[in-house]
Amino acid sequence: MALILDGLKIRDQILKECQPRVAALEAARCLPGLAVILAGDNPASEIYVRNKVKACQELGIYSEKLTPPETVTTAQLIEMVESLNARPEIDGILVQMPLPKQVDAKRVLLAINPDKDVDGFHPLNLGRLVTNTPGPRACTPSGIMELLKRYNIPIAGKHAVVVGRSDIVGKPMALMLLHQHATVTICHSRTSNLAAVCREADILVAAIGQPAFITAEFIKPGATVIDVGINRLTSREQVASIFRNAPDKLATFEKRGSVLVGDVNPIDVAERAGAYTPVPGGVGPLTVAMLMANTVEAAERRLDVCSA
Ligand code: GUN
């Protein structure tokens, strides 16, 4: 039986390690503060942001949410970011992606003070990632690295295949695995013989955004499979087919009208992988935990600067 890599367990470990750090910062009158900008109405983003704000509350971190409308302009978002840059009690600024289509996301990210860039999306911090120098790192891939480390999954010398080339997950994931001495292949929508390339992977990371796209033929027996996808299935036929008529999933569908599935076929991965992350309960919780860790770290840097 494949080992299930429990993201909730690792999230709890990471958050527990943050607790004494938050207490020490509070005692030093330097409570960490996170500002989240959620522009427009994207239901998935609303859920992600709600989870981020809830995690702050549970950890005792100050947070505030700014919700400009769908019609917001690039200039207005830059102005918002600049006013957050100027507030010393705000350690982290997170601009939830994707932004409304008229907004130039790259210009908005460039406006964030790199010291407050708790998502690691600013070009300066991306440069630090490329050169493997310290700095805030993108939360989803850094959470995956924590998961692999804490489960003692070997990386050095292994072949890692990352499916997906986004700035948020695919590219930083590939670099982090490379820095741990994996041999890394990045695949995308135009890769030929995708299944054959994936079947070479000792570590397979799926960040595609297509439900149950990775099936048995993509998975080398015994591989570690990391599923970054969160897709909502709203057709009963799809649920029945992907979950092979599993009664619990069909019951969930009848009750809620939808079922979550990752980018990896959940039955195939359980049968073929050596270890894998489930959906839900795998990668998702780690992203939030790493955001908390990045925010705490930004506050610790502020305290260092203040007390220097
Ligand atoms: N959209 C999807 N994932 C993320 C993330 O980690 N950070 C931000 N800002 N937006 C996202």
Query: What local confidence, expressed as pLDDT, does residue 10 receive?
Result: 98
Q: Which of 66, 94, 97, 167 for a ligand 1 pocket mutation test, highest count of atoms within 8 Å of Cβ?
A: 97
Within-domain flag for 9: no
Full domain range(s) for residue 55: 28-113
Same domain, 153 and 269: yes
Query: What local confidence, expressed as pLDDT, does residue 144 receive?
Result: 98
**pLDDT tens by residue, 101-145:** 999 999 999 999 999 999 999 999 999 999 999 999 999 999 999
The closest of 15, 8, 290, 294 to 141, measured between CA atoms, is 290
Atom of ligand 1 nearest to the CA of 95: 9
Strands laid side by side in the 92-95 sheet: 62-66, 33-37, 92-95
Give CA–CA dist 146/141, Å, rounded: 9
Token readout for 146 is 């924590």
198 touches 192 (CB < 8 A): no
Query: What local confidence, expressed as pLDDT, does residue 305 receive?
Result: 78
Same domain, 148 and 239: yes
Residues linked to residue 187 through DSSP beta bridges, in sequence order: 163
Q: How many domains does the chain have?
A: 2
Q: Is 59 left (phi over 0), alpha (psi -120 to 50) or beta?
A: alpha
Same domain, 106 and 161: no
Residue 214: HSE in the Cβ half-sphere, 13 Å Cα cutoff: 36
Same domain, 44 and 162: no
Strand, helix or coil for residue 98: coil
| DSSP 8-state symbol, 41 | -
What pairing do the DSSP bridges indicate for beta strands 159-163 and 183-187?
Answer: parallel
Within-domain flag for 293: no
Within-domain flag for 60: yes
Report whether residue 119 contacts ligand 1, using a CB cutoff of 6 Å.
yes
The closest of 187, 234, 186, 225 to 205, measured between CA atoms, is 225
Strands laid side by side in the 3-4 sheet: 3-4, 275-276, 224-227, 203-206, 159-163, 183-187
Q: Residue 288 Cα, ligand 1 centroid: separation in angstroms? A: 10
Within-domain flag for 23: no
Within-domain flag for 146: yes
Query: What local confidence, expressed as pLDDT, does residue 307 receive?
Result: 75
Same domain, 107 and 143: no
The residues that are catalytic are: 52, 96, 119
167 touches 132 (CB < 8 A): no
Give CA–CA dist 70/59, Å, rounded: 30
For ligand 1, atom 11, the nearest C-alpha belongs to 97
For ligand 1, atom 4, the nearest C-alpha belongs to 97
45 touches 68 (CB < 8 A): no
Report whether residue 51 contacts ligand 1, using a CB cutoff of 6 Å.
no
Query: What local confidence, expressed as pLDDT, does residue 65 receive?
Result: 98
Q: Residue 27 Cα, ligand 1 centroid: separation in angstroms? A: 31
Report whether residue 93 contacts ligand 1, using a CB cutoff of 6 Å.
no
Report whether residue 166 contacts ligand 1, using a CB cutoff of 6 Å.
no
Helical ranges in 131-187 per DSSP H: 139-150, 170-179
* CATH number of the domain within which 52 lies: 3.40.50.10860
Q: Residue 168 Cα, ligand 1 centroid: separation in angstroms? A: 7
**Sequence-distant (≥ 6) Cβ neighbours of residue 230 within 8 angstroms:** 44, 260, 262, 279, 280, 284
- Show the low-confidence residues of the chain (pLDDT under 70): 308
Same domain, 87 and 143: no
Report whether residue 96 contacts ligand 1, using a CB cutoff of 6 Å.
yes
